[in-house]
Amino acid sequence: MLVRDAMSTVVLTIGPAHTLRQAAALMSARRVGAAVVHDPDAGGIGILTERDILDSVGLGQDPDTEHAHAHTTTDVVFATPSWSLEEAAHAMAHGGFRHLIVLDRGEPAGIVSVRDLIRCWVTALPGARPQPRRVPV
């Protein structure tokens, strides 16, 4: 099975000037754990995760004044749609993260998460019944 089979193609994209509260509200509304941060001035594409927001709030920072650019990971490992799920899992385990941005021809085509990998592997087990896929709105 390939990353293209597991990834979510509905990608939340935010700008670097979004506050962490705005990012959290958008992520919550879409029921996703990560957002692609598009920042052409800082080199392109990064990722902001729920963990980044949680860490900031845990440090006592104000989510209304903290901006996404200050908490975005820009040293990103990207997957391609043709990666195997095993390659994606290895990259996540090796890098210690739970989301991979999937690039196709240099553009974000989706995000694959650990949850996506587990869903695919569980439904591929012998005797498993296909489960409906939750698609963010």
Q: Which fold has domain 3-123?
A: CBS-domain (3.10.580)
pLDDT digits (tens, 9 = 90+) for 17-66: 999 999 999 999 999 999 999 988 877 899 999 999 999 999 999 999 99
Mean model confidence pLDDT for the chain: 91
pLDDT attached to residue 65: 98
- Indicate if the alpha-carbon torsion angle 27, 97, 36, 80 is positive or negative: negative
